[in-house]
Amino acid sequence: MYDQTTADLIRRIPTVRGFDSERMPELLTACYAQISSSRLLLAEGESDTDLDEALQDLKALAQALQVYAALTIDPRMRESAAFVSASAHQLLFKADRLKGEDNSGRVQLNASSVPAEIACALLFLAAGYPADSAEAASAIQGFSTEGDPRNEVLRALIALCRGNLRAVGGGQIGVNPELPTEEQAELCLWGKLLRAIQLLARRMSEPGPAAAATYEEFVVQCEEVVSMSIAELELPNELQMPQAVYAGYAAPHHIATLLLGAGNGLNERALTDVADPVGPDSDPWRSFLDQRLNERPYMWTNHMEAVADGLLDRGVSAAISFPTGAGKSTLSELKIIATVLSGSKVIYLAPTLALVGQVSRSLRNLLSEAEVDEDEVEDQLFNMPDAVLEKMVSVMTPERCLLQLTLQPEAFEDIGLIVFDECHSLHLAKESHQQRPISAMIGLLSMLELAPDADILMMSAMMANGDSIAEWLSSSFGKNCLVFNAAWKPTRQARGSLVFRQEEIAAARALVCPHS
Protein backbone atom coordinates (compact mmCIF):
# COMPACT_ATOMS: atom_id res chain seq x y z
CA MET A 1 0.00 0.00 0.00
CA TYR A 2 3.02 2.28 0.45
CA ASP A 3 5.68 3.52 -1.96
CA GLN A 4 9.28 2.51 -1.20
CA THR A 5 10.22 5.84 0.41
CA THR A 6 7.28 5.70 2.83
CA ALA A 7 7.82 2.01 3.53
CA ASP A 8 11.42 2.75 4.52
CA LEU A 9 10.18 5.52 6.81
CA ILE A 10 7.72 3.12 8.45
CA ARG A 11 10.41 0.51 9.10
CA ARG A 12 12.48 3.03 11.07
CA ILE A 13 10.03 3.00 13.99
CA PRO A 14 11.45 2.33 17.45
CA THR A 15 11.03 -1.15 18.89
CA VAL A 16 7.51 -1.77 20.18
CA ARG A 17 6.92 -5.00 22.03
CA GLY A 18 4.90 -7.44 19.95
CA PHE A 19 5.50 -5.70 16.61
CA ASP A 20 8.09 -6.41 13.93
CA SER A 21 9.27 -3.08 12.49
CA GLU A 22 10.46 -4.76 9.29
CA ARG A 23 6.96 -6.07 8.67
CA MET A 24 5.18 -2.88 9.68
CA PRO A 25 4.20 -1.75 6.13
CA GLU A 26 2.66 -5.16 5.51
CA LEU A 27 0.88 -5.07 8.90
CA LEU A 28 -0.76 -1.71 8.18
CA THR A 29 -1.75 -2.89 4.72
CA ALA A 30 -3.22 -6.09 6.18
CA CYS A 31 -5.27 -4.04 8.67
CA TYR A 32 -6.62 -1.93 5.82
CA ALA A 33 -7.58 -5.07 3.89
CA GLN A 34 -9.16 -6.59 7.02
CA ILE A 35 -11.28 -3.50 7.59
CA SER A 36 -12.35 -3.41 3.95
CA SER A 37 -13.29 -7.09 3.86
CA SER A 38 -15.26 -6.78 7.10
CA ARG A 39 -17.90 -4.71 5.33
CA LEU A 40 -19.42 -7.88 3.90
CA LEU A 41 -19.60 -9.62 7.28
CA LEU A 42 -21.09 -6.60 9.02
CA ALA A 43 -23.59 -6.11 6.21
CA GLU A 44 -24.82 -9.66 6.89
CA GLY A 45 -25.09 -9.01 10.62
CA GLU A 46 -22.03 -11.06 11.55
CA SER A 47 -19.11 -9.97 13.71
CA ASP A 48 -15.50 -10.19 12.69
CA THR A 49 -13.45 -11.40 15.66
CA ASP A 50 -10.24 -11.20 13.67
CA LEU A 51 -10.91 -7.52 13.02
CA ASP A 52 -11.57 -6.84 16.71
CA GLU A 53 -8.22 -8.39 17.64
CA ALA A 54 -6.41 -6.48 14.92
CA LEU A 55 -7.93 -3.20 16.09
CA GLN A 56 -6.80 -3.81 19.67
CA ASP A 57 -3.22 -4.26 18.45
CA LEU A 58 -3.56 -1.22 16.22
CA LYS A 59 -4.80 0.93 19.10
CA ALA A 60 -1.87 -0.12 21.30
CA LEU A 61 0.55 0.68 18.47
CA ALA A 62 -1.02 4.09 17.81
CA GLN A 63 -0.86 5.12 21.46
CA ALA A 64 2.67 3.86 22.13
CA LEU A 65 4.17 5.55 19.07
CA GLN A 66 2.19 8.74 19.68
CA VAL A 67 3.88 9.14 23.05
CA TYR A 68 7.27 8.34 21.53
CA ALA A 69 6.78 10.87 18.72
CA ALA A 70 5.84 13.55 21.23
CA LEU A 71 8.82 12.98 23.52
CA THR A 72 11.78 11.91 21.36
CA ILE A 73 14.37 14.44 20.23
CA ASP A 74 15.69 12.27 17.38
CA PRO A 75 14.10 13.80 14.23
CA ARG A 76 14.34 10.62 12.13
CA MET A 77 12.73 8.46 14.81
CA ARG A 78 10.12 11.13 15.49
CA GLU A 79 9.07 11.26 11.83
CA SER A 80 8.80 7.47 11.65
CA ALA A 81 6.90 7.06 14.93
CA ALA A 82 4.59 9.98 14.10
CA PHE A 83 3.71 8.65 10.65
CA VAL A 84 2.96 5.11 11.84
CA SER A 85 0.95 6.36 14.82
CA ALA A 86 -1.08 8.71 12.61
CA SER A 87 -1.63 5.96 10.02
CA ALA A 88 -2.82 3.59 12.75
CA HIS A 89 -5.23 6.27 14.00
CA GLN A 90 -6.59 6.69 10.47
CA LEU A 91 -7.25 2.97 10.19
CA LEU A 92 -9.03 3.03 13.54
CA PHE A 93 -11.22 5.90 12.31
CA LYS A 94 -12.02 3.87 9.21
CA ALA A 95 -13.05 0.93 11.38
CA ASP A 96 -15.23 3.20 13.54
CA ARG A 97 -17.03 4.47 10.44
CA LEU A 98 -17.52 0.89 9.33
CA LYS A 99 -19.17 0.08 12.66
CA GLY A 100 -21.19 3.30 12.69
CA GLU A 101 -19.19 4.66 15.66
CA ASP A 102 -17.52 7.62 13.96
CA ASN A 103 -17.39 10.61 16.34
CA SER A 104 -15.05 12.83 14.36
CA GLY A 105 -17.79 15.40 13.90
CA ARG A 106 -18.08 15.92 17.66
CA VAL A 107 -14.51 16.70 18.65
CA GLN A 108 -13.99 18.69 21.84
CA LEU A 109 -11.03 19.68 23.96
CA ASN A 110 -10.71 19.20 27.69
CA ALA A 111 -7.91 19.39 30.22
CA SER A 112 -7.38 15.66 30.57
CA SER A 113 -7.30 14.12 27.07
CA VAL A 114 -6.52 14.97 23.45
CA PRO A 115 -8.97 13.83 20.74
CA ALA A 116 -7.38 11.19 18.53
CA GLU A 117 -8.42 13.17 15.43
CA ILE A 118 -6.37 16.19 16.51
CA ALA A 119 -3.41 14.02 17.50
CA CYS A 120 -3.55 12.28 14.12
CA ALA A 121 -3.43 15.55 12.16
CA LEU A 122 -0.54 16.92 14.23
CA LEU A 123 1.38 13.64 13.96
CA PHE A 124 1.21 13.76 10.17
CA LEU A 125 2.66 17.29 10.29
CA ALA A 126 5.45 16.06 12.56
CA ALA A 127 6.16 13.26 10.07
CA GLY A 128 6.49 15.72 7.19
CA TYR A 129 3.25 14.69 5.44
CA PRO A 130 1.18 17.90 5.29
CA ALA A 131 -1.23 16.49 2.67
CA ASP A 132 -2.21 13.66 5.03
CA SER A 133 -2.53 16.15 7.87
CA ALA A 134 -4.93 18.27 5.82
CA GLU A 135 -7.00 15.19 5.01
CA ALA A 136 -7.18 14.19 8.68
CA ALA A 137 -8.12 17.71 9.78
CA SER A 138 -10.77 18.03 7.07
CA ALA A 139 -12.65 15.09 8.59
CA ILE A 140 -13.23 17.09 11.81
CA GLN A 141 -16.54 18.84 11.34
CA GLY A 142 -17.85 19.86 14.75
CA PHE A 143 -16.75 21.75 17.83
CA SER A 144 -17.54 21.73 21.50
CA THR A 145 -20.05 24.04 23.19
CA GLU A 146 -20.38 27.48 21.61
CA GLY A 147 -18.67 30.16 23.67
CA ASP A 148 -16.11 27.71 25.05
CA PRO A 149 -12.67 29.40 24.80
CA ARG A 150 -11.14 26.05 23.87
CA ASN A 151 -12.99 26.30 20.56
CA GLU A 152 -10.50 28.97 19.51
CA VAL A 153 -7.64 26.51 20.04
CA LEU A 154 -9.49 23.77 18.19
CA ARG A 155 -10.32 25.97 15.20
CA ALA A 156 -6.75 27.25 15.03
CA LEU A 157 -5.34 23.71 15.13
CA ILE A 158 -7.61 22.58 12.30
CA ALA A 159 -6.74 25.63 10.19
CA LEU A 160 -3.01 25.06 10.74
CA CYS A 161 -3.22 21.40 9.74
CA ARG A 162 -5.26 22.22 6.65
CA GLY A 163 -2.74 24.84 5.59
CA ASN A 164 -5.30 27.63 5.92
CA LEU A 165 -2.90 29.97 7.67
CA ARG A 166 -4.99 33.13 7.46
CA ALA A 167 -7.88 31.34 9.20
CA VAL A 168 -5.73 30.71 12.28
CA GLY A 169 -6.65 34.22 13.34
CA GLY A 170 -5.22 36.48 15.99
CA GLY A 171 -7.69 36.16 18.85
CA GLN A 172 -6.87 35.71 22.51
CA ILE A 173 -8.25 33.73 25.41
CA GLY A 174 -8.87 35.93 28.41
CA VAL A 175 -8.69 34.80 32.03
CA ASN A 176 -11.46 35.88 34.37
CA PRO A 177 -9.92 36.55 37.84
CA GLU A 178 -13.25 35.67 39.46
CA LEU A 179 -13.01 32.06 38.32
CA PRO A 180 -11.61 29.35 40.59
CA THR A 181 -7.82 29.08 40.51
CA GLU A 182 -7.87 25.74 38.69
CA GLU A 183 -10.01 27.13 35.86
CA GLN A 184 -7.83 30.24 35.57
CA ALA A 185 -4.74 28.02 35.26
CA GLU A 186 -6.35 25.90 32.55
CA LEU A 187 -7.48 28.95 30.55
CA CYS A 188 -3.98 30.39 30.82
CA LEU A 189 -2.56 27.22 29.25
CA TRP A 190 -5.12 27.23 26.43
CA GLY A 191 -4.31 30.88 25.80
CA LYS A 192 -0.60 30.10 25.50
CA LEU A 193 -1.35 27.19 23.15
CA LEU A 194 -3.45 29.47 20.95
CA ARG A 195 -0.58 31.95 20.88
CA ALA A 196 1.84 29.16 19.92
CA ILE A 197 -0.36 28.07 17.00
CA GLN A 198 -0.63 31.66 15.80
CA LEU A 199 3.15 32.06 15.97
CA LEU A 200 3.74 28.88 13.96
CA ALA A 201 1.25 30.04 11.32
CA ARG A 202 2.98 33.43 11.18
CA ARG A 203 6.39 31.78 10.83
CA MET A 204 5.10 29.81 7.81
CA SER A 205 3.85 33.07 6.29
CA GLU A 206 6.96 35.22 6.53
CA PRO A 207 10.44 34.85 5.03
CA GLY A 208 13.90 35.80 6.19
CA PRO A 209 15.24 36.54 9.67
CA ALA A 210 11.79 37.47 10.97
CA ALA A 211 10.65 33.88 10.42
CA ALA A 212 13.51 32.50 12.52
CA ALA A 213 12.70 34.86 15.39
CA THR A 214 9.01 33.97 15.20
CA TYR A 215 9.82 30.26 15.29
CA GLU A 216 12.00 30.70 18.37
CA GLU A 217 9.11 32.50 20.08
CA PHE A 218 6.81 29.62 19.10
CA VAL A 219 9.17 27.11 20.72
CA VAL A 220 9.33 29.19 23.90
CA GLN A 221 5.52 29.31 24.11
CA CYS A 222 5.22 25.53 23.71
CA GLU A 223 7.97 24.85 26.24
CA GLU A 224 6.26 27.16 28.74
CA VAL A 225 3.02 25.20 28.35
CA VAL A 226 4.91 21.93 28.89
CA SER A 227 6.62 23.20 32.05
CA MET A 228 3.54 24.96 33.45
CA SER A 229 1.09 22.12 32.83
CA ILE A 230 2.75 19.62 35.16
CA ALA A 231 4.18 19.91 38.67
CA GLU A 232 5.51 17.65 41.40
CA LEU A 233 3.16 17.33 44.37
CA GLU A 234 4.33 18.02 47.90
CA LEU A 235 2.82 15.19 49.91
CA PRO A 236 2.37 15.06 53.69
CA ASN A 237 4.91 12.96 55.55
CA GLU A 238 2.43 10.15 56.15
CA LEU A 239 1.78 9.89 52.38
CA GLN A 240 5.37 9.86 51.18
CA MET A 241 5.88 7.70 48.08
CA PRO A 242 9.04 5.90 46.90
CA GLN A 243 8.89 7.99 43.70
CA ALA A 244 7.85 11.55 42.95
CA VAL A 245 4.14 12.15 42.27
CA TYR A 246 3.08 14.62 39.58
CA ALA A 247 -0.23 16.27 38.75
CA GLY A 248 -1.21 18.59 35.96
CA TYR A 249 -3.17 19.30 32.81
CA ALA A 250 -2.49 16.36 30.51
CA ALA A 251 -4.15 17.68 27.32
CA PRO A 252 -2.37 21.07 27.08
CA HIS A 253 0.92 19.29 27.90
CA HIS A 254 0.43 16.68 25.16
CA ILE A 255 -0.78 19.17 22.54
CA ALA A 256 2.24 21.36 23.25
CA THR A 257 4.64 18.44 22.72
CA LEU A 258 2.82 17.43 19.52
CA LEU A 259 2.96 21.05 18.34
CA LEU A 260 6.71 21.12 18.89
CA GLY A 261 6.98 18.03 16.70
CA ALA A 262 4.72 19.58 14.08
CA GLY A 263 6.80 22.76 14.17
CA ASN A 264 9.95 20.72 13.57
CA GLY A 265 8.20 19.01 10.66
CA LEU A 266 7.06 22.32 9.13
CA ASN A 267 9.95 24.66 9.86
CA GLU A 268 11.92 23.60 6.77
CA ARG A 269 8.86 23.35 4.52
CA ALA A 270 7.63 26.92 4.23
CA LEU A 271 6.78 28.00 0.70
CA THR A 272 7.88 31.50 1.67
CA ASP A 273 11.43 30.19 2.18
CA VAL A 274 11.86 29.43 -1.53
CA ALA A 275 14.70 31.70 -2.60
CA ASP A 276 14.07 34.33 -5.26
CA PRO A 277 15.24 32.83 -8.58
CA VAL A 278 14.76 36.06 -10.53
CA GLY A 279 17.30 38.56 -9.26
CA PRO A 280 17.83 41.38 -6.76
CA ASP A 281 14.28 42.69 -7.19
CA SER A 282 12.38 40.05 -5.26
CA ASP A 283 9.09 41.93 -4.76
CA PRO A 284 7.20 40.19 -7.64
CA TRP A 285 8.36 36.76 -6.45
CA ARG A 286 7.35 37.54 -2.88
CA SER A 287 3.94 38.69 -4.12
CA PHE A 288 3.48 35.42 -5.98
CA LEU A 289 4.40 33.37 -2.90
CA ASP A 290 2.02 35.42 -0.74
CA GLN A 291 -0.73 34.71 -3.26
CA ARG A 292 -0.16 30.95 -2.89
CA LEU A 293 0.01 30.97 0.90
CA ASN A 294 -3.61 30.10 1.59
CA GLU A 295 -3.60 27.25 -0.93
CA ARG A 296 -0.24 25.47 -0.67
CA PRO A 297 1.84 27.00 2.14
CA TYR A 298 3.74 23.77 2.88
CA MET A 299 6.33 22.29 0.54
CA TRP A 300 6.43 18.54 -0.02
CA THR A 301 9.72 16.68 0.33
CA ASN A 302 10.18 16.18 -3.42
CA HIS A 303 9.47 19.87 -4.06
CA MET A 304 12.09 20.90 -1.52
CA GLU A 305 14.70 18.64 -3.09
CA ALA A 306 14.00 19.97 -6.60
CA VAL A 307 14.19 23.62 -5.51
CA ALA A 308 17.36 22.96 -3.52
CA ASP A 309 18.93 21.42 -6.64
CA GLY A 310 18.33 24.69 -8.54
CA LEU A 311 15.32 23.78 -10.68
CA LEU A 312 13.98 27.34 -10.62
CA ASP A 313 17.22 28.93 -11.86
CA ARG A 314 17.58 30.04 -15.48
CA GLY A 315 19.70 27.65 -17.50
CA VAL A 316 18.40 24.59 -15.63
CA SER A 317 16.18 22.01 -17.35
CA ALA A 318 14.67 18.84 -15.89
CA ALA A 319 13.09 15.49 -16.63
CA ILE A 320 10.38 14.91 -13.98
CA SER A 321 8.79 11.48 -13.68
CA PHE A 322 6.92 11.70 -10.38
CA PRO A 323 3.87 9.43 -9.93
CA THR A 324 0.41 10.89 -10.55
CA GLY A 325 -0.54 13.26 -7.73
CA ALA A 326 3.05 13.70 -6.48
CA GLY A 327 3.35 17.38 -7.39
CA LYS A 328 4.66 17.72 -10.96
CA SER A 329 2.23 20.59 -11.56
CA THR A 330 3.45 22.50 -8.51
CA LEU A 331 7.06 22.36 -9.71
CA SER A 332 6.10 23.39 -13.23
CA GLU A 333 4.09 26.33 -11.88
CA LEU A 334 7.05 27.55 -9.82
CA LYS A 335 9.35 27.27 -12.83
CA ILE A 336 6.84 29.03 -15.09
CA ILE A 337 6.42 31.96 -12.69
CA ALA A 338 10.18 32.29 -12.28
CA THR A 339 10.57 32.40 -16.08
CA VAL A 340 7.77 34.93 -16.60
CA LEU A 341 9.14 37.21 -13.87
CA SER A 342 12.51 37.15 -15.63
CA GLY A 343 10.80 38.59 -18.73
CA SER A 344 10.79 35.45 -20.91
CA LYS A 345 7.85 33.66 -22.49
CA VAL A 346 6.70 30.11 -21.88
CA ILE A 347 5.33 27.43 -24.21
CA TYR A 348 3.33 24.72 -22.46
CA LEU A 349 2.61 21.63 -24.59
CA ALA A 350 -0.24 19.33 -23.58
CA PRO A 351 -1.37 16.38 -25.73
CA THR A 352 -5.14 17.01 -25.56
CA LEU A 353 -7.43 20.02 -25.61
CA ALA A 354 -8.96 18.85 -22.32
CA LEU A 355 -5.57 19.05 -20.62
CA VAL A 356 -4.86 22.36 -22.38
CA GLY A 357 -8.01 23.80 -20.81
CA GLN A 358 -7.19 22.42 -17.36
CA VAL A 359 -3.65 23.79 -17.38
CA SER A 360 -4.79 27.18 -18.73
CA ARG A 361 -7.32 27.59 -15.91
CA SER A 362 -4.69 26.74 -13.33
CA LEU A 363 -2.15 29.19 -14.78
CA ARG A 364 -4.72 31.99 -14.98
CA ASN A 365 -5.16 31.63 -11.23
CA LEU A 366 -1.42 32.17 -10.85
CA LEU A 367 -0.95 34.93 -13.40
CA SER A 368 -3.80 36.82 -15.03
CA GLU A 369 -6.23 36.43 -17.90
CA ALA A 370 -4.09 38.75 -20.02
CA GLU A 371 -0.93 36.65 -19.68
CA VAL A 372 -2.16 33.15 -20.57
CA ASP A 373 -3.17 32.12 -24.09
CA GLU A 374 -5.14 28.90 -24.55
CA ASP A 375 -5.47 26.79 -27.68
CA GLU A 376 -9.21 26.05 -27.97
CA VAL A 377 -9.39 25.04 -31.64
CA GLU A 378 -10.23 21.50 -32.72
CA ASP A 379 -9.53 22.08 -36.42
CA GLN A 380 -5.82 22.88 -36.43
CA LEU A 381 -5.58 23.63 -40.15
CA PHE A 382 -8.26 26.21 -40.91
CA ASN A 383 -8.61 28.14 -37.64
CA MET A 384 -5.40 30.05 -37.08
CA PRO A 385 -5.49 32.91 -34.54
CA ASP A 386 -4.77 36.44 -35.71
CA ALA A 387 -1.77 36.82 -33.39
CA VAL A 388 0.78 34.27 -32.25
CA LEU A 389 2.51 34.12 -28.82
CA GLU A 390 1.50 37.63 -27.76
CA LYS A 391 0.98 36.53 -24.15
CA MET A 392 3.64 35.47 -21.68
CA VAL A 393 2.37 31.86 -21.47
CA SER A 394 0.90 29.93 -24.40
CA VAL A 395 -0.74 26.57 -23.71
CA MET A 396 -1.29 24.45 -26.80
CA THR A 397 -1.24 20.99 -28.30
CA PRO A 398 1.90 19.83 -30.15
CA GLU A 399 -0.04 19.95 -33.44
CA ARG A 400 -0.94 23.62 -32.99
CA CYS A 401 2.63 24.38 -31.95
CA LEU A 402 4.02 22.76 -35.11
CA LEU A 403 1.62 24.73 -37.29
CA GLN A 404 2.56 28.04 -35.64
CA LEU A 405 6.24 27.17 -35.97
CA THR A 406 5.71 26.67 -39.68
CA LEU A 407 3.87 29.97 -40.22
CA GLN A 408 5.64 32.30 -37.76
CA PRO A 409 8.92 30.76 -36.56
CA GLU A 410 10.30 34.14 -35.50
CA ALA A 411 7.71 34.33 -32.71
CA PHE A 412 9.48 31.51 -30.87
CA GLU A 413 12.91 33.13 -30.68
CA ASP A 414 12.36 34.76 -27.26
CA ILE A 415 10.99 31.64 -25.55
CA GLY A 416 12.61 31.06 -22.15
CA LEU A 417 10.89 27.82 -21.12
CA ILE A 418 9.30 24.86 -22.89
CA VAL A 419 7.12 22.60 -20.73
CA PHE A 420 6.17 19.28 -22.30
CA ASP A 421 3.44 17.63 -20.22
CA GLU A 422 2.73 13.91 -20.69
CA CYS A 423 5.96 13.76 -22.68
CA HIS A 424 5.70 9.97 -22.97
CA SER A 425 3.48 10.79 -25.97
CA LEU A 426 6.75 11.32 -27.87
CA HIS A 427 7.21 7.56 -27.88
CA LEU A 428 6.36 5.98 -31.23
CA ALA A 429 5.39 2.33 -30.85
CA LYS A 430 6.67 -0.17 -33.38
CA GLU A 431 4.52 -0.41 -36.52
CA SER A 432 2.48 2.57 -35.31
CA HIS A 433 1.02 4.93 -37.91
CA GLN A 434 0.16 7.73 -35.47
CA GLN A 435 1.22 11.19 -36.53
CA ARG A 436 1.11 12.81 -33.06
CA PRO A 437 4.51 11.57 -31.75
CA ILE A 438 6.21 12.65 -34.97
CA SER A 439 4.55 16.10 -34.91
CA ALA A 440 5.47 16.54 -31.26
CA MET A 441 9.11 15.64 -31.81
CA ILE A 442 9.46 17.88 -34.88
CA GLY A 443 7.88 20.76 -32.96
CA LEU A 444 10.18 20.27 -29.97
CA LEU A 445 13.31 20.06 -32.13
CA SER A 446 12.25 23.16 -34.08
CA MET A 447 11.73 25.20 -30.90
CA LEU A 448 15.10 24.11 -29.55
CA GLU A 449 16.72 25.29 -32.76
CA LEU A 450 14.94 28.66 -32.70
CA ALA A 451 15.41 29.22 -28.94
CA PRO A 452 18.63 27.37 -28.03
CA ASP A 453 18.84 29.01 -24.58
CA ALA A 454 15.34 27.96 -23.50
CA ASP A 455 14.98 25.69 -20.48
CA ILE A 456 12.96 22.51 -20.85
CA LEU A 457 10.70 20.60 -18.47
CA MET A 458 9.84 17.09 -19.64
CA MET A 459 7.08 15.72 -17.38
CA SER A 460 5.24 12.41 -17.21
CA ALA A 461 4.07 9.89 -14.64
CA MET A 462 4.85 7.14 -17.17
CA MET A 463 8.42 8.06 -18.07
CA ALA A 464 10.68 5.22 -16.96
CA ASN A 465 13.77 6.56 -18.72
CA GLY A 466 14.16 10.01 -17.20
CA ASP A 467 17.93 9.54 -17.04
CA SER A 468 18.06 8.83 -20.79
CA ILE A 469 15.91 11.87 -21.58
CA ALA A 470 18.20 14.08 -19.49
CA GLU A 471 21.29 12.65 -21.16
CA TRP A 472 19.75 13.28 -24.60
CA LEU A 473 18.97 16.92 -23.77
CA SER A 474 22.44 17.37 -22.30
CA SER A 475 24.49 15.74 -25.05
CA SER A 476 22.43 16.92 -28.03
CA PHE A 477 21.48 20.44 -26.94
CA GLY A 478 23.92 21.33 -24.16
CA LYS A 479 21.23 21.55 -21.50
CA ASN A 480 22.02 21.40 -17.81
CA CYS A 481 19.29 18.84 -17.18
CA LEU A 482 18.32 17.49 -13.75
CA VAL A 483 16.46 14.23 -13.19
CA PHE A 484 13.66 13.83 -10.63
CA ASN A 485 12.20 10.35 -10.48
CA ALA A 486 11.38 9.78 -6.80
CA ALA A 487 8.68 7.15 -6.31
CA TRP A 488 7.32 9.00 -3.26
CA LYS A 489 3.71 10.14 -3.40
CA PRO A 490 1.36 11.68 -0.83
CA THR A 491 -1.33 9.03 -1.26
CA ARG A 492 -1.57 5.34 -0.49
CA GLN A 493 -2.67 2.75 -3.00
CA ALA A 494 -3.75 -0.72 -2.00
CA ARG A 495 -3.09 -3.50 -4.47
CA GLY A 496 -4.46 -7.01 -4.38
CA SER A 497 -5.24 -10.11 -6.37
CA LEU A 498 -8.65 -11.68 -6.89
CA VAL A 499 -8.39 -15.48 -7.02
CA PHE A 500 -11.08 -17.80 -8.42
CA ARG A 501 -11.25 -21.58 -8.40
CA GLN A 502 -10.77 -23.22 -11.80
CA GLU A 503 -14.28 -24.69 -11.76
CA GLU A 504 -15.76 -21.21 -11.17
CA ILE A 505 -13.86 -19.87 -14.16
CA ALA A 506 -15.09 -22.76 -16.30
CA ALA A 507 -18.69 -22.17 -15.20
CA ALA A 508 -18.40 -18.45 -16.03
CA ARG A 509 -17.01 -19.25 -19.48
CA ALA A 510 -19.88 -21.65 -20.10
CA LEU A 511 -22.36 -18.86 -19.34
CA VAL A 512 -20.61 -16.31 -21.55
CA CYS A 513 -19.71 -18.63 -24.44
CA PRO A 514 -22.07 -21.65 -24.21
CA HIS A 515 -21.16 -22.94 -27.68
CA SER A 516 -17.38 -22.64 -27.46
d(CA 496, CA 172): 51
First-residue to last-residue Cα distance in the chain: 40
Q: What is the residue extent of each domain of the chain?
A: 1-102, 104-275, 301-484
Residue among 322, 283, 298 at smallest CA distance from 128 = 298
Q: Which residues pair with 349 in a beta bridge?
A: 396, 420
**Residues 9, 79: Cα–Cα separation, whole Å:** 8
pLDDT at residue 482, as a whole number: 92
- From the number of C-beta atoms within 10 Å of its C-beta (0-12, 13-18, 19+), residue 363 rates as buried
User: What is the overall mean pLDDT for the chain?
Assistant: 82
- 303 CB-contact burial (10 Å; exposed 0-12 / middle 13-18 / buried 19+): buried
Q: Which residues of 151-161 are buried (b: 16+ CB within 10 A; e: fewer)?
A: bbbbbbbbbbb
- Which has the minimum average pLDDT: 75-84, 267-276, 349-358, 388-397? 388-397
CA torsion sign for 500, 505, 511, 513 is: positive
Measured from the Cβ of residue 269, the count of other Cβ atoms closer than 10 Å reads 18
d(CA 316, CA 3): 28
Q: Which CATH number fits domain 301-484: 3.20.20.450, 3.30.70.360, 3.40.50.300, 3.40.190.10?
A: 3.40.50.300
pLDDT reading at 22 higher than 50: yes
Comparing 90-104, 299-313, 392-406, 438-452, the range with the smallest average pLDDT is 90-104
The length of the chain in residues reads 516
Residue 379: per-residue pLDDT? 47
pTM of the model: 0.83
Report the distance separating Cα 88 and Cα 21, nearest Å.
Answer: 14
pLDDT at 376 over 80: no
Q: Mean of the pLDDT values across residues 221-231?
A: 88
Radius of gyration, alpha carbons of the chain: 28
Top pLDDT among 218 and 94 is at: 218
Highest mean pLDDT among 24-38, 40-54, 150-164, 315-329: 150-164
The 10 Å Cβ neighbour count of residue 21 is 16
